[in-house]
Amino acid sequence: MAEREVRLPGCAACGKVRFPPLDSCPYCGQPGGEEKVLSGVGTVYSFIVLHRTFHPAFEADLPFAIAVVDLEDGPRIAARIEGPPEAVSIGMRVAATYFDRESWTELRFTAHDN
């Protein structure tokens, strides 16, 4: 069973969480870091609605929204937003949800009340 957590490396020196995962902290240069479990709650910074896809496996899902999300306790990341794309808006509160694929689990976001 897939773990259902948002995990990213955090810097032991300055405490910042980074994405994409890197060997050293882009903020202070400290090598290494520890993996942190994040809340998965954030705010939509920007988004687009896809009406075409680059892979036939996603054609049945069209249209759908991909958003850049500012995580409350981490960096900015991009992921699909569950639900109708016309319901997505900048500033919308979202929470992590997960979609199981055949061999991997996809991080997505869904509307969050708080």
Rounded to two decimals, what is the model's pTM? 0.89
Q: What is the pLDDT along the chain (114 residues), one digit of tens a residue?
A: 467 899 999 999 999 999 998 999 999 999 999 999 999 999 999 999 999 998 998 899 999 999 999 999 989 999 999 999 999 999 999 999 999 888 889 999 999 986
DSSP string for 43-112:
EEEEEEEESS-SSGGGGGG-SEEEEEEEETTS-EEEEEEPS-GGG--TT-EEEEEEEE-SS-EEEEEEE-
